[in-house]
Amino acid sequence: MLKRLTLLVLLATLLTQCAKRGSPTGGPEDVTPPVMLRAVPPQKTVNFKEDQIRIYFDEYIKLNKLQEQLVISPPLEQTAYLISPQSVAAKYIEIEFLDTLSPNTTYTFNFGESVVDNNEGNPYSFFSYVFSTGNEIDSLSIRGDISDALDRNPESFVSVMLYPVDSTYTDSIIYKEKPLYYTNTLDSLTHFNLPNLRAGTYALVALKDTGKNFLFDPSVDKIDMVERVITLPTDSLFNLTLFQEKVSFDFGRAYQAGQNRIGLGYKGNAKGAQITLDQEVGDSFASVISFDQKKDSLYFWYRNLTADTLRFSVNKDSLQKKFVFRLRNADPDSLAVEVSPSGVLHLTDTIKFMSNTPIQKLVPDSIRLRDKDSVLINFNVNLRNKHEAHLYFDVFPNEKYQLEMLPGALTDFFDVANDSLFVNLSTKSRVDYGNLSLRLQNVPSYPLFVDVLNPNEEIVRSVYLVEPKGLVRFDYLIPNKYYIRVRLDENKNGKWDTGNYLSKKKPEAVYHYEPILDVRANWELQELFRLE
């Protein structure tokens, strides 16, 4: 009987366990970040003389995007320290110093959001380790915000740097020396906090440090600087507005861009650049200069050249550079003509002819434009540059057009004429577009630009106002989301001017209309933009 009872109990237990089996729920998601348990030496150690630091955590962690996230202030050369482990999970971070640290200096290792738990990737946000090689931890700080002179939002990973202002300080220090103190906004912030600073006087600079070398390169970096010297301690909140300088013109290297084409890279504005030959080339030689529409290169096209070396000078204002260029074999350039747009012709579009070789001649009589009833339409065609011509005519809604380029309508620099080209275009109804009326208030000065921008902040339309106007209208906008921006032309030179660091020149003022506008088909938007 006892055996039977024991058997029944065992069966019941087994059945109960089987009944409980099923898919595990997994429990709540782990959102807890790692926790630092201790550090050797401890946080905020003074008179630091060690060559190694170990920081221990309560769980396995890994370092995610350490090179992007780690901010060391004052900056250290990458050869001066080693952080491990980086390729495997561990319960500690080890910092090994390979070079001597500066005396009487407070160092901050800010890991940003690189320290994450191994399983869920929860970040230990802005974890930092601080120590001093002197008798005390410097405890002053500077706070502020980052904005952009032209764009609606500033870029990420902006460096904020402090330079001590002493007898050796000059404005050119940012081109050749690293800052004394440094922080970075990383990838999600527009404000900054630069902690653990020593009392003194400093220059405060913000830099989009493209080269990640703590030095200002005007050709690629954005910059701003607080004009006055900062004395610490201070309770001031600083705003730095990044701008891209207008780069001074300079020539780059020459290269063989095509069989009869030498390319020449440049920086800045190359308008007005001229090329002169420094050798005899014969009466049949011909050449022309054109500019690449997508990159900073100009092209020197030539024909009927028998020499294997070309000596020439490039001149721009007072700048001159001489070249001795040995010609090489390259693919020949053959004429190809493209018409834009294709398919749909919007009511504000212009028809463009684009050629990959320089246009030498246009024959308007060899171009035909007809409507849907095959009636010829009058037009004007103008050569805008060596590679592009524009065709102007009255564009009507709900219409179909046929464009025909007969052979010889366009002839290029090599005396090659186009083949026959047919393009069919159609326009939409007026109700397929939206209209925007804008009233400006509190305008500081005229003239100014009013820009309509797409969501990528690219200019779709722009008008230049030299005096107040009741309403600024933008008709026939393609349905989309749009931003509105106003740029002041404070020096009245017909363009918006950026700033310059060395001359302490600030960019001309820019105002952004805060909401994004939803322009819909057959819709009229009326907006009030108060500039402030």
List of residues 6+ apart from 352 with CB closer than 8 A: 339, 340, 388, 389, 390, 391
Residues 6 or more apart from 61 whose CB is under 8 A from it?
A: 34, 89, 90, 91, 93, 115, 116, 117, 118, 124
Q: Is the peptide bond before 233 cis (omega within 30 degrees of 0)?
A: yes
Q: What is the pLDDT of residue 20?
A: 45
Contacts of residue 213, defined as CB under 8 A and 6 or more positions apart, other chains included, come to none
| Cα separation, 411 vs 418, whole angstroms | 7
What does the pLDDT read at residue 30? Answer: 65
Any residues with CB less than 8 A from the CB of 463 and at least 6 apart, and which?
Answer: 449, 450, 472, 474
CATH level 3 topology of 36-132? Immunoglobulin-like (2.60.40)
Question: pLDDT at position 378, please?
Answer: 96
Beta bridge partners of 487: 449, 510
Closest CA to 322 of 334, 332, 304, 310: 310
- CA–CA gap between residue 387 and residue 359 (Å, rounded): 6
Dihedral Cα 467, 468, 469, 475, nearest 10 deg = 70
pLDDT by residue, tens only, the chain of 532 residues: 444 544 444 445 544 444 444 445 555 566 788 999 999 999 999 999 999 999 999 999 999 989 888 989 999 998 999 999 988 999 999 999 999 999 999 999 999 889 999 988 899 988 999 999 999 999 999 999 999 999 999 999 899 999 999 999 999 999 999 899 989 888 877 899 999 999 999 999 999 999 888 899 998 999 999 999 999 999 999 999 999 999 888 888 999 999 999 999 998 888 889 999 999 988 899 999 999 988 889 999 999 998 999 999 999 988 899 999 999 999 999 999 999 998 999 999 999 999 999 999 999 999 999 999 999 999 999 999 999 999 999 999 999 999 999 999 999 999 999 999 999 999 999 999 999 999 999 999 999 999 999 999 999 999 999 999 889 999 999 999 999 999 999 999 999 999 999 999 999 999 999 999 999 999 999 999 999 9
Query: Rounded CA gap, 108 and 500, in Å?
Result: 32
Q: Which pLDDT value is given to residue 6?
A: 47
Identify which of 375, 422, 408, 366 has the alpha carbon closest to the alpha carbon of residue 394. 375
Q: Which class would CATH give 433-530?
A: mainly beta
Instruction: Give the other-Cβ count within 10 Å of 35's Cβ.
Output: 11
Q: Can you give the pLDDT at residue 133?
A: 96
The position carrying tokens 């030095």 is 215
- CATH number for the region 140-244 comes to 2.60.40.1120
Q: Can you name the CATH fold of 250-326?
A: Immunoglobulin-like (2.60.40)
Closest CA relative to residue 144, chosen from 80, 82, 236, 24: 236
Separation in Å, CA 389 to CA 343, 352, 401: 19, 6, 18
Give pTM, 2 decimals.
0.83
d(CA 32, CA 9): 43
The SS3 assignment for 256 reads strand
> What CATH architecture does domain 337-428 belong to?
Sandwich (2.60)
Domain ranges of the chain: 36-132, 140-244, 250-326, 337-428, 433-530
Q: What share of the chain is helix, strand, coil (3-state, %, to 5)?
A: 5, 45, 45
Question: Quick one: which H or E segment has residue 461?
Answer: strand 459-465
DSSP 8-state assignment for residue 80: G
Strand arrangement of the beta sheet that strand 400-405 belongs to: 343-344, 421-426, 400-405, 367-370
In the block, tokens 């050629």 appear at 355
Single-letter residue type at 181: Y
Same fold, 36-132 and 250-326: yes
